[in-house]
Structure 1
Amino acid sequence: MREQELFAVPKHTYWLAILSLFMGVSSLITSEFIPISLLTPIAHDLSISEGVAGQSITMVGVFAVITSLSLSPVVKHINRKIILLSFSVMVIISNLIVAFSLNYTVLLIGRALLGICVGGFWSMASAVTLQLATPKDISRALSIVYAGVSIATIIALPLSSYMGNIIGWRNVFIIAALMGLVSLIWQLFTLPSIPAQKGNSFSSMFNLLQQQWIFIGILAIISSYGGYHIVFSYLRPWLQNDLQLASNIVTLTLLLFGIANCVGTLIAGLFLGQFFKITMVMVHLLFFVIAITLFFSKHLITENLIMIFVWGLLFGFIPVGWTTWITRTLSNKAELMGGLSVAAIQLSIGLAAAIGGNLYDYFGSGGLFIASAVVMLFAILLIHHSFSIYLKMMNKPI
């Protein structure tokens, strides 16, 4: 089936609508990663360990996986604008549940609701953007949407940490709910009608996974995000407990980490556009080298901080890189591939938080770095294998 039969190419680019998606991404990812900067106070308030508190990130991943795999086939005839607005409402409710939670169980319920939003929104993000932007503006539009991830990194890490120290972690989640409200209003007035793509069924999704290069690519996505998040999920405890940084220095470090991530997102397109395969391989190789170096340089604070900033910069290449992979190879199946990739990403984030929590509780930060290095090495092998198979099949580079 040809691409134009699956979705209509817009006559002009809906920039205000694309900016509303940027706001939605910022709100969504901020809500997802706020606990990373607030693990210590959340754990203290609810009388649980930081490793257990980290499972609130795992809960989001579990429900995001389920939603991303099932949403497109289940709601294949519903206008995407209605679905996106529904997710914005659920983000607000989720953050309010967490903010007023009296125990760990209620907190997990709120995070599970957020997981549904994360999985649903991201499974549609690429396909919706393709219907809002003309072909010549697609790359720019995707960059704007994914810039929300970088902005959310700044909000969720340093600002949440700083504000949590002043107003308490519960009020930070209330502010996140207000961000969701702004996103809801913006999308309500700017998003046009967005018909669903045709061919969204469980059988079509299964058929995609039967192709070897796609299946290996999905495994590569799991390894790519997982290797990063094993360290990222426990960044604050490492800075605070292992490097013994003061709370104000921790906040500054998280701010610089977020800025580095923004820079990485902005420059990623320059490299990926011209040297896609080699850039993806080299980025993961650098992750591997940094993880090993961090393991052997535990007491070198300045060197550790420099490396963790580079770690943040490199991650800017990951979401842009894997989205580019989808739009270059499977644009006519963008929504289904979006669901599969989101399932892979959220599965990896959930596993990273779960495995990383146990590793940190039992082996300290050293266990995180070794695990990350091993996973990144595996990602390199999978990326090379998937891209090579595609090249042989299609007789053209990615």
Structure 2
Amino acid sequence: MTQVQESSGGRAARPAPRRTGWPGVAALALGTFTVVTSEMLPVGLLTPMGRSLGVPEGVAGLTLTITGLVAALSAPALVPLLRRTALCVLVAVLVVGNLGAAWAPDFATMVVARVLVGVGMGGVWAVAAGLAVRLVPAKSAGTATSLVFSGIAVASVLGVPAGTYLGDLAGWRAAFLAAAGLGAVVLVAAALLLPRLPAERTVPFGGALRLTRDPRLRTGLLVVAFLVTGHFAAYTYIRPVLEDVSGVGAGTIGVLLLVYGIAGVAGNFLAGAGAARSPRTTLLVIGTVLALTVAALPWLGGSPALAAVLMVLWGLGYGGVSVSTQTWVLLAAPDAREAASSLFVGVFNAAIALGALAGGLVADGVGVTAVTVTGAALVAGALVTTAAGRAPVPEAPAVPGKT
């Protein structure tokens, strides 16, 4: 997807023409939708997966931990090496991983399959995170970034609920087969629609780590770590939580996840506009909504109607996390966007892994509803970090990654 080009006289490589930008943005949005759907499928399938593979729910949740951890490790290493051909190879790895998950006869095989999914999604997401602003004119960069990250929110709207429904209708393995088919579509779209863009600046892994000396970037990454860990400590186990608190069945859970996802799409675009003006204020609002909603679920989610209201608020809050934190990171490192994006994706996916792991330990050791208290406490940590840390100040026009 990226191509390093050296020009005579040491001049920086120039971006490819932008006339193909919006089809490329659409391909990236489809890519983020696919990788997030692939990563998150276990959320809606946790109970039948664990039963089929002969492991408790907390152990089954490790399938999310494994994928997130591998993606976190692979993303910073893969960004400097990526070309469009390599991106297609990584999407193919994602497809193979989903096929392996669909076939897995035991938990060990499932682990191997989810490692492959993690490698594929780490590379795809890392590049998509920083590329949108280069595919379109500067005045449209904010819209393009929100569109790419809408793939994450739409994955909650369509991917996870659809996987849950399909798993209930045809078995949980069918959901992974469907994700593999979607990955094949992304493979074709990436090959046909993405232009050859040179890397703006080649930064080795060690150089990317040195970017964290900037307190603005460091604060943004810490906010990502707290917010995402807290969210996934609770959200990974949302199915058993809803079953325990609200007493709802599989069909209603699918509806509640759909409600959550629709709200998440709205939250994505609302937060994208707000973060371009003030990422700190936007993230303070997001953190407050998330902390209160997650903490309230065990006490106020006793009926499907109240649970639906809480899922709407949860979706509105978390739907804006990706685009808001990504905006913060790109504003904090405008001259090293790809390297900063690789750190962002690494921290984000490490937080997914840590959240799923922490939630699993709490669910198995204390009780499944206790994961909401854990999640709310971690989100509160994000609020403190956002308020106390240094934030980047957008320049006019207020768009992420402005050149």
The reply to whether residue 302 of structure 1 matches residue 298 of structure 2 is no
Closer, same or farther: CA 357–291 of 1 in aligned 2, 3 Å: same
The reply to whether residue 146 of structure 1 matches residue 146 of structure 2 is no
Tell me how far apart the structure 2 counterparts of residues 7 and 116 of structure 1 sit (CA, whole Å).
29
The reply to whether residue 209 of structure 1 matches residue 212 of structure 2 is yes
Q: Which residue of 2 aligns with 1:132?
A: 135
1:13 to partner: Cα distance: 5.0
Tell me how far apart the structure 2 counterparts of residues 253 and 50 of structure 1 sit (CA, whole Å).
20
Q: Which residue of 2 aligns with 1:19?
A: 26
Q: Percent identity?
A: 25
C-alpha contact (below 8 Å) 1:122/1:338 kept by paired residues: no
Structure 1: gaps of 5 or more residues: none
- Residues 313-392 of structure 1 aligned to structure 2 (within 5 Å): 313-388=316-391, 390=392
How many pairs does the alignment contain?
386
- Residues 96-245 of structure 1 aligned to structure 2 (within 5 Å): 96-245=99-248
Closer, same or farther: CA 60–146 of 1 in aligned 2, 3 Å: same
1:301 to partner: Cα distance: 4.8
Residue identity opposite 1:272 in structure 2: A
C-alpha contact (below 8 Å) 1:99/1:171 kept by paired residues: yes
C-alpha contact (below 8 Å) 1:37/1:157 kept by paired residues: yes
Q: Which residue of 2 aligns with 1:95?
A: 98
1:257 to partner: Cα distance: 1.2
Closer, same or farther: CA 149–358 of 1 in aligned 2, 3 Å: same
Tell me how far apart the structure 1 counterparts of residues 303 and 48 of structure 2 sit (CA, whole Å).
27
- Greater shift in the superposed pair: 53-62 or 18-27: 18-27
Taking structure 2 as the reference length, the TM-score comes to 0.90
Closer, same or farther: CA 365–300 of 1 in aligned 2, 3 Å: farther
C-alpha contact (below 8 Å) 2:35/2:125 kept by paired residues: no
2:76 aligned to 50, 54, 69, which one?
A: 69
Structure 2: gaps of 5 or more residues: 1-10
The reply to whether residue 57 of structure 1 matches residue 60 of structure 2 is no
Closer, same or farther: CA 342–298 of 1 in aligned 2, 3 Å: same
Tell me how far apart the structure 2 counterparts of residues 6 and 293 of structure 1 sit (CA, whole Å).
51
Name the SS of the counterpart of 2:44 in structure 1. Answer: helix
Residue identity opposite 1:62 in structure 2: L
- What do you get for the CA RMSD once the two structures are aligned? 2.1
1:237-280, Cα deviation, whole Å (9 max, x unpaired): 11123321022211211111111111211222333233432121
1:322-372, Cα deviation, whole Å (9 max, x unpaired): 121133232321111111111111111001111101111222244212111
Closer, same or farther: CA 296–241 of 1 in aligned 2, 3 Å: closer
Taking structure 1 as the reference length, the TM-score comes to 0.91
C-alpha contact (below 8 Å) 1:27/1:180 kept by paired residues: yes
1:41 aligned to 33, 48, 56, which one?
A: 48
Tell me how far apart the structure 2 counterparts of residues 334 and 279 of structure 1 sit (CA, whole Å).
21
1:274 aligned to 277, 284, 292, which one?
A: 277
Structure 1 segments of 4+ aligned residues over 6 angstroms from their partners: none
Closer, same or farther: CA 300–362 of 1 in aligned 2, 3 Å: farther
Tell me how far apart the structure 2 counterparts of residues 199 and 323 of structure 1 sit (CA, whole Å).
20
1:196 to partner: Cα distance: 2.5
Tell me how far apart the structure 2 counterparts of residues 112 and 325 of structure 1 sit (CA, whole Å).
29
Tell me how far apart the structure 2 counterparts of residues 166 and 11 of structure 1 sit (CA, whole Å).
44
- Greater shift in the superposed pair: 322-331 or 81-90: 322-331
Residue identity opposite 1:92 in structure 2: V
Quick check: which one's helix share is greater?
1
Name the SS of the counterpart of 2:269 in structure 1. Answer: helix
1:227 to partner: Cα distance: 1.2
C-alpha contact (below 8 Å) 1:9/1:134 kept by paired residues: no
1:223 to partner: Cα distance: 0.4
Tell me how far apart the structure 1 counterparts of residues 312 and 130 of structure 2 sit (CA, whole Å).
32
C-alpha contact (below 8 Å) 2:289/2:313 kept by paired residues: no
Tell me how far apart the structure 2 counterparts of residues 374 and 146 of structure 1 sit (CA, whole Å).
26
